[in-house]
Chains A and B, each alone.
Chain A
């Protein structure tokens, strides 16, 4: 049975200086999984916010089940049967699961009743949840379950999912997809937003592709290749990262029996880490965030120091040195958290450049900052990495996630490191920018640097790694050549997701 659930006609929304949505029209059927594809800044989020009542359109109209639909606020949209799972989780860490779910409902039942319903519905959909746990103690996958259950309890007609898989393991993604198929077969339509084209081909019935706020194509994703979809999104031909075959050089970075305590309440301590990275090698480290990734990056960058011998750079013990001496030698790092860790949000790009490049680029002379030189270097990064920003004086906070990511990776790559460790280098970055970042990492390795890439995106790791290992519960598996590894083998290395039940459809 197909019947139009939501019809969007000529929806337009302009912000000062940019038209976020320009006469966007498409329709979603009941029980259909509809993909919304587009690069960062293509207008996907604005469109979704209009459907959810967070933003009011300037022009155009929406029809829900044949009736005029213009929600003045999310409450009205929810009452009309629209539910949304947000990209950045909209959860409250200090509250428990049941309280979080109650906040997203119009007329929540009594807490005890609600807890019982949560347990029932979550098991029915194969997403087990304990209603009394604090959300702050949950993993990313579990948090997403909270959001999904919150939506499902309202029995929505349309479920909007904004980048739902960016933080999940392959096993978790599989479970999510089974759940989504089941929800769709119950007649609920799903609007699915993602960068991951394989996922969209796997699960979506139809796709609307946005570019610069306009609908440029509608298609059935199963009939297209991922590459075709990507090119429709970007509007030009994509270049796949090129890897020259190189002979690896000597071991540049050596980690021997490294132990480090957890850096946050939700982190994991590192246990007996051993690894070697050779010149010209890209080592990919997979695993779900929170398994020691941050700790490993901190141990290599020098944020956490330990016994001198645990970390060696070109045979020299550096385990007891802080970040600055290590940077001077050429051991650089780009952490995951863009705002606050990689970059100081309220400082300009020039100032942010100074923060990591001061010693290696000689930007400070006798205690005084050479601003001219710093600005020049910042501009060079902006030009080289195609960072879209009004200029080097812009505050880091004002950049979009993808652009800031290009900047922080570029800042380290341009300093010509001998060792570079990056965590989630392309998180939240669109396809063409991600390809560019990956290419720059490969170029770096081609020029003889040792590169360590920590990522949750396995496709990315398979694309650029020479060697692959997995970080699980603070322990590193034995490295294996990335070429020829199958998804099953990687799944075994990752080990996790044991607590998840698959749905019996």
Chain B
């Protein structure tokens, strides 16, 4: 085994790339769950975003349009979850699972004609001056715009939830929908908007996989990333920065185990392949073990809201 083949700078910079799709999906789901809805369809929305983004980017030659289309596709698909759960009061767990299965099938169908194609490349942002700093430059300042967009999104979601009135209303709806309704807030409307936001984020995450990270379309390419995003939201205690840590740990271990495989470590590949999942969850469980009240799940999470008057 030759550990010197692993370049730490490259390792850390590719960690940020590996984490981005999961972080995007997890941030969207975080907002959804903060509004009191449990959408297990993240995986389905991600992969539909992946193929739609891929298809649009290939057809138009523009990755930007690809990402836009992916977000739109994710948001539209999420309505398939929003309508039964918010209007018809269907069970959220079953509807979410159905959405995942549907998304996997739909993406395979759309993707039939796109196997083996190469998407247009997304330019890397080369931040002037900063990108030329040795070590730090390649790690932090030579990525594609989506990496920075996602980091900004984390900060924005954190600030909106913590400081803005809109964030307060979302949290209130997720905490006690009856009380929010009694105060005159439109619970169903707020939740549908949150679900659509979650869908758009998941779609972006999927498109990031097929347009930048891999970049190619293969059936079932999300490979459980949506489920990891869900787990990260829970173990991250519904806090944006902890979700970021979780996604980066997952991305880091994923990249590290690839490198270890290449370096020829004397461990069966299967163990290495499962390590990101195990390590991420263990670390987040340890972080969230010190339970404070504010770190609990939204009190109305997964509960069906029925206006009684």
Contacts and interface: CB of A to CB of B under 8 A. Distances in A.
A133 B292 CA distance: 14
B238 to A, nearest CB: 10
A137 B309 CA distance: 30
B309 A74 contact: no
B294 A94 contact: yes
B293 A99 contact: no
A49 interface: yes
B87 interface: no
B51 to A, nearest CB: 39
A134 B294 contact: yes
Nearest to B182: A90
A240 B184 CA distance: 42
Contact of B293 (A49, A74, A92, A136): A136
Interface in A51-92: 53-55, 73-75, 78, 86, 89-92
Contacts of A90: 176, 178-179, 182-183
Contacts, number: 58
Contacts of B231: none
Given A54-B309, A92-B176, A78 B184 contact: yes
Interface stretch (B56-64, B132-140, B166-174): B166-174
B184 A92 contact: no
Contacts of B293: 94, 134, 136-137, 265
Given A90-B178, A134-B294, A49 B183 contact: no
B304 to A, nearest CB: 13
Which residue, of A74, A75, A91, A92, has the highest number of chain B Cβ atoms within 10 A? A92
A417 interface: no
Contacts of B169: 103
A108 interface: yes
A93 interface: yes
A90 B183 CA distance: 8
A104 interface: yes
B179 A92 contact: yes
Contact of A55 (B165, B294, B296, B309): B309
Contacts of A251: none
A86 B163 CA distance: 27
A102 interface: yes
B202 to A, nearest CB: 26
A91 B183 CA distance: 10
A243 to B, nearest CB: 40
B175 A94 contact: yes
A73 B184 contact: yes
Contacts of B163: 111
Nearest to A54: B309
A99 B183 contact: no
A95 interface: yes
A456 to B, nearest CB: 22
Given A75-B184, A91-B179, A99 B309 contact: no
Contacts of A92: 171-172, 175-176, 179-180
Contacts of B178: 90
Given A86-B182, A93-B299, A99 B176 contact: no
Contacts of A265: 293
A91 B176 contact: yes
A15 B244 CA distance: 50
Contacts of A134: 293-294
* A interface: dominant SS: loop
Interface range, B side: 20 to 34
A95 B179 contact: no
B175 A108 contact: no
A5 to B, nearest CB: 21
Contact of B172 (A53, A86, A103): A103
Contact of A103 (B168, B294, B296, B299): B168
A502 to B, nearest CB: 30
A94 B179 contact: no
Contacts of A111: 163
B197 to A, nearest CB: 21
A225 B294 CA distance: 49
Nearest to B295: A94
Given A91-B176, A93-B175, A134-B293, A74 B165 contact: no
A49 B309 contact: yes
Contacts of A93: 175-176, 299
A89 B176 CA distance: 11
Interface in A82-125: 86, 89-95, 99, 102-104, 108, 111
A311 B197 CA distance: 57
Contact of B184 (A74, A99, A137): A74
A11 to B, nearest CB: 15
Given A93-B175, A95-B175, A104 B183 contact: yes
A86 B184 CA distance: 13
A94 B54 CA distance: 42
A104 B185 CA distance: 10
A104 B172 CA distance: 11
A108 B165 CA distance: 9
A417 to B, nearest CB: 35
A359 B309 CA distance: 40
Contacts of B165: 102, 108
Given A92-B176, A134-B294, A74 B182 contact: yes
A356 B179 CA distance: 33
B296 A74 contact: no
Given A94-B299, A102-B168, A74 B179 contact: no
Interface in A11-44: none
A99 B163 CA distance: 10
Given A89-B179, A92-B171, A265-B293, 10 more contacts: A73-B184, A86-B182, A90-B176, A90-B178, A92-B175, A92-B180, A94-B175, A94-B296, A102-B168, A103-B168
Question: Which 5 A-B pairs give the minimum distances between C-beta atoms?
Answer: A74-B184, A90-B179, A92-B175, A90-B182, A75-B184
26 contacts: A49-B309, A53-B184, A54-B182, A74-B183, A86-B182, A89-B179, A92-B171, A92-B172, A92-B176, A92-B179, A93-B175, A93-B176, A93-B299, A94-B171, A94-B293, A94-B294, A94-B296, A94-B299, A95-B168, A95-B175, A103-B168, A103-B169, A103-B172, A103-B180, A103-B183, A103-B185
